[in-house]
A and B are shown apart, each in its own frame.
Chain A
């Protein structure tokens, strides 16, 4: 029965079905299935979609659809992990978001999804995120990486402000900062003291791995 539930949970993510994914996640909790196993099958599903996307066989609507399905099941599983005090294996904890004043979400969502598929634990704060919200999330989730997105020339300087806020809070040494977005260049990333930049979503996963030494 537990195999059946996990199989269906995975299937729901692969088939972009958010309702089904949440419902199978609840079922997994009811049947006292190891929540780490539930998380693993969802990560496998996202990795499957991410690989297809990387090969050009699947497209953005597939990636975003699967990410949404996983997002809907995630809080249920996470709560169970917390309740049981279980430990999840992860390459690292990442807080990601689009900076304040900028409401562009697609690039950020692609990166967040592929980072999840790549084995990271990702907390996506969404768009138009203020520096203090990033700081709060880093403390709350004990994140090792902060990933910032800005599409516009006008909002790129916000990334600099966030790095300054990290320094002010004494968090800069604990957090690696990676930046991206349409208007960002390596030169800009260097100038604001970011730890890494990559212009593509798959490249961002490689970058995150290198930042955690894996």
Chain B
């Protein structure tokens, strides 16, 4: 099992009990009175059968508060997810923190910072790098890239799922579109791994058929579900943090009701994927501190619901380069998510606004994850760490700690040593070619690609993956989509 990091102190909370209650009551009110649109007949019928008022003409379901609260209670507060190698299993929830990736549509040229479509080999290599990173526990959908040379868009998701199953043992979240989840589920079963399914709202307060069909398929296959919204506050949600929390939570909770009606006890992760509206460009404001205000509130409220959280808006910047802005935005956002008790943080690899990703960024992010992870593990206070006997023994100068057994035993537990940071003395830095963290990350990537060998699938499993991909291609050809 991948242990991740365990927070050893009280989480950061920024809302009073009254404020949490006001947001919860507002959410219930919207679910009951405004309701939500579902372009999915089967879901509407299931809601109606279980006591929701449903307007079939408007495709709108209205949720009674008692049903909502009952369904929230039925979700497990922590759960086990099985990987194809038990060493990559996850136990999600409680005080555990895991890191996952943030995807990008294309790769980026590290000299010109212009985006370009990666090759299949670059895509596979980027997954291998993720497999090798110590502080990366789970891989997201569309990761690393949505666009890969020679792969048509219609089969991009199944091809991406296959690339991750083949090049990593880590558990992945998978996307959905035009029935592709049928093949994603088959591949996961054949490789002996669980995968996360996904269901995303189209805010405000709407779910299209593809999203709901995906939820049904994953739940019926017995897999856990990741629920997210993509609210942009000021655009598709109210401009206020509290108001956007209500629409965001209402959208997630509607799917939680659906999951628990389909199969009680279904494992879910509530993902906060929100951005303030960039009022100049019309894009989401990536890297904005508003993301953290939202995530921190979200973690507090969902801890009360007893449902594991994913903070999704972290590893993506408004900057186009791996530079100072890109670094401070993601580091501040990741730290605040960790301090406030988020269970999964989407950090590794994403650079600009869902457009670009680079494995070197994922290596740099692994150091951010390591620093933050070390911080939340806190301080151990025991007879041994207080070291009273040792302090008495060493005494004042010429006393010295570097040569002590206690130091050899403890320093590595107490410190975090980054893999790609420049920590040299000035003369050494001069002598070794004035390298920066970016240079070290490049070297690290070369080293990983030269030496790291992900645990392969068996030949039979690999053939089966290929057969399922071929089945997917045929499926889309028959429908004139390929």
Interface residues of A (CB under 8 A from B): 56, 59-61, 103, 106-107, 110, 153-154, 157, 182-183, 201
Contacts and interface: CB of A to CB of B under 8 A. Distances in A.
Contact of A157 (B105, B153, B234, B278): B153
B147 A103 contact: no
A187 to B, nearest CB: 10
A107 B153 contact: no
23 contacts: A56-B280, A59-B279, A59-B280, A60-B277, A60-B278, A60-B279, A60-B280, A60-B282, A61-B234, A61-B279, A106-B235, A107-B282, A110-B282, A153-B105, A153-B146, A153-B147, A153-B153, A153-B156, A154-B153, A154-B154, A154-B177, A182-B283, A182-B355
B202 interface: yes
Given A153-B105, A183-B105, A106 B282 contact: yes
Nearest to A200: B281
A152 to B, nearest CB: 9
Interface residues of B, number: 17
A107 B156 CA distance: 25
Interface in B230-254: 234-235
A153 B103 CA distance: 14
Interface in B106-141: none
A51 to B, nearest CB: 15
Q: Which 4 A-B pairs have the closest CB atoms?
A: A59-B279, A106-B282, A60-B279, A107-B282
Contacts of A60: 277-280, 282
A103 B282 contact: no
A59 to B, nearest CB: 4
Contacts of B355: 182
Contacts of B278: 60
Interface string B328-368: 00000000000000000000000000010000000000000
Nearest to A108: B282
Contacts of A59: 279-280
A16 to B, nearest CB: 14
Contacts of A182: 283, 355
B202 A103 contact: yes
Interface in B216-241: 234-235
A87 to B, nearest CB: 34
A174 B277 CA distance: 38
Interface string B89-105: 00000000000000001
Contacts of B277: 60
A71 B482 CA distance: 40
B283 to A, nearest CB: 8
